[in-house]
Chains A and B, each alone.
Chain A
Amino acid sequence: MVFWQWIKTLFSKQQLYMRYRDYALFKNLGAFDLFLLDERMHQRKFKKDEVIFETGYPLEVIYFVTSGEIRLQGLYYGSEEKIIGPGHYLGLLDMYHSEIRSSTAVAHTDVMVDAISQADLMDYIHARPRCGLKILHTVCKDFCDLIFEEAAKAE
């Protein structure tokens, strides 16, 4: 009976990690990979209009929006603001460009995010290259989408 309870706990815990598959970056990762990822993730809540980060801050944490909306202002968006919602991530593209934030993020509504430090994500990728390849594939895809989007705008 106790053993059965223990097995049940293992599976119920797995369900907790599966929510990371809602993010495009991790949708192809296995249950064990997600468990290891969960060890490094931190859940944070921001109230409406609370600043998440500002332009010029050091770039260390990558945020994944779980619920709510975030308002972005900065280099990529010109004078406009961009609103992003659940499933989107912040800070990953900047990571390949500079060591400081190029935009300001403010909670548009009450927001819940998953956060992982750049160093932890890199450690994770180094330790699990197969996962790194899957993550890199998604990042490349997002970069391509961004380039074509910009090209379309320019035309």
Chain B
Amino acid sequence: MNWAKTGFYVLLAVIILAALIFYRWIFHYLIAAWIFSYILEPAVNFLEHKHIPRWISVLIVYLTIAGLIAWVTSRLIPVLMTQANNLIAILGNNEEVNSDILLQLPFLKSLQEFVINLDAKIPGLDLTNQFANLLGSIKDFMAKLPKYLVDNYSTIIGAVSFVGMIPLIGFFLLKDKYKIQKALFGLSSNRYFELTIIIMGKINSTVGTYLRAMLLEVISVSIMASSALSIVGVSNPVLIGITAGVANIIPYFGPFFGGALAVISVLFEGGSIMAMIYAALAMYLVQLVDNNIVYPVVVGTTINMHPLLVLLTVLAGGWYGGILWMLISVPLVFLIYTLVNVLYKNLKEYRII
């Protein structure tokens, strides 16, 4: 037995373990930055192929996205400012917050009107009292908010740093993509070199393509749904359209959720049966275009999972981590299944197992 060699490997294992423990807090940063870099990679590659150095390509892509975000948010800022001013007025006032001030907020005011309208239409529902209780809870929360902000400043700073760090880490992942890849492949022995290349290639193609495709699909469905709903006269079409676009990530049930949201919105506003049918038809048309044109072109292959498995996965995701996990659980399970499948197939073919 070669004691020196064994000793070295033990030392290496200890160092790796220590590093894992030391860096465990930043794994979620790395994963988020990794996803971020996957989405931006084609744009960076495109610019690099135009003889622009890679780091400048990354900067150009970053600046373009920052410009786009600034442009989009600038269109929403007037509305947001009104509501933010109301909030600041409430927070800046040391007097006890009362429900009347809250009801000056346009959203809550329209919600109250809607609840009263619904109670009038459906006897015995008694949503008005429940809404009043909800306002009471909001009032309590508002009163405690400044103290909450001070008490949880570290959490808030953590969240801000998380959002700020992702583009920064993503910058280096994008700039040094090939160097990182070479370093990773360099770690593998000759026996596993080809296998590592296949696995990494599959991860690149599956995860990268899927993430970019999903992002494009969310954007296209959001735009189509918003346009279709505004054409048929549903109010808040952008909000419902974006929600439908995001919900579309969940196969089978996501599109249904988007359609149901549009119809329920018309129902809550006291719209006619015809208005509800128009809203449903508009969402159906969006799904028709999405399923037959956008999805086959953008995503290419569907997530081939049984509807029951999708339902169970969405439920499990919801129990595990709320709405966010409901959205990501199905793609995550699909990606893990694909990777395990590739790993098993290739380990067999390379006669390793």
Contacts and interface: CB of A to CB of B under 8 A. Distances in A.
A32 interface: yes
A46 to B, nearest CB: 6
B194 A58 contact: yes
Given A42-B185, A57-B194, A127 B350 contact: no
Given A57-B350, A58-B346, A46 B190 contact: yes
Query: Which of B193, B205, B346 is packed against the most chain A CB atoms within 10 Å?
Result: B193
Interface string A24-51: 0000000010001001101010100010
Contacts of B49: 36, 127-128
Contacts of A52: 190
Interface residues of A, number: 23
B178 A40 contact: yes
Contact of B51 (A32, A40, A50): A32
Contact of A36 (B48, B190, B197, B346): B48
Contact of B201 (A44, A46, A60): A60
Contacts of B185: 42
Given A36-B49, A57-B349, A119-B205, A44 B182 contact: no
B275 to A, nearest CB: 49
Contacts of A120: 201
Interface string A7-26: 00000000000000000000
A104 to B, nearest CB: 13
B291 interface: no
The bracket for how many chain B residues form the interface is 10 to 19
A127 B42 CA distance: 11
Contact of B197 (A50, A61, A128): A61
Contacts of B194: 53, 57-58, 60-61
A50 B349 CA distance: 19
B198 interface: yes
A53 B51 CA distance: 36
Contacts, number: 45
Contact of A115 (B193, B198, B351): B193
Given A58-B350, A127-B49, A117 B193 contact: no
A4 B45 CA distance: 28
Interface in B309-353: 346, 349-351
Interface in B188-245: 190, 193-194, 197-198, 201, 205
Given A36-B49, A42-B182, A128-B49, A119 B201 contact: yes
A61 B194 CA distance: 6
For the complex of A and B, 3 pairs with smallest distance between CB atoms: A39-B178, A117-B197, A119-B201
22 contacts: A39-B178, A40-B178, A42-B197, A44-B190, A46-B190, A50-B190, A57-B194, A57-B349, A58-B194, A58-B350, A60-B197, A60-B198, A61-B193, A61-B194, A115-B197, A117-B197, A117-B198, A117-B201, A119-B201, A119-B205, A127-B49, A128-B49
Given A32-B51, A58-B346, A61-B194, 19 more contacts: A36-B49, A42-B182, A42-B193, A44-B190, A50-B190, A56-B349, A57-B349, A57-B350, A58-B194, A58-B198, A58-B349, A58-B350, A60-B198, A61-B193, A61-B197, A100-B349, A117-B197, A119-B201, A127-B49
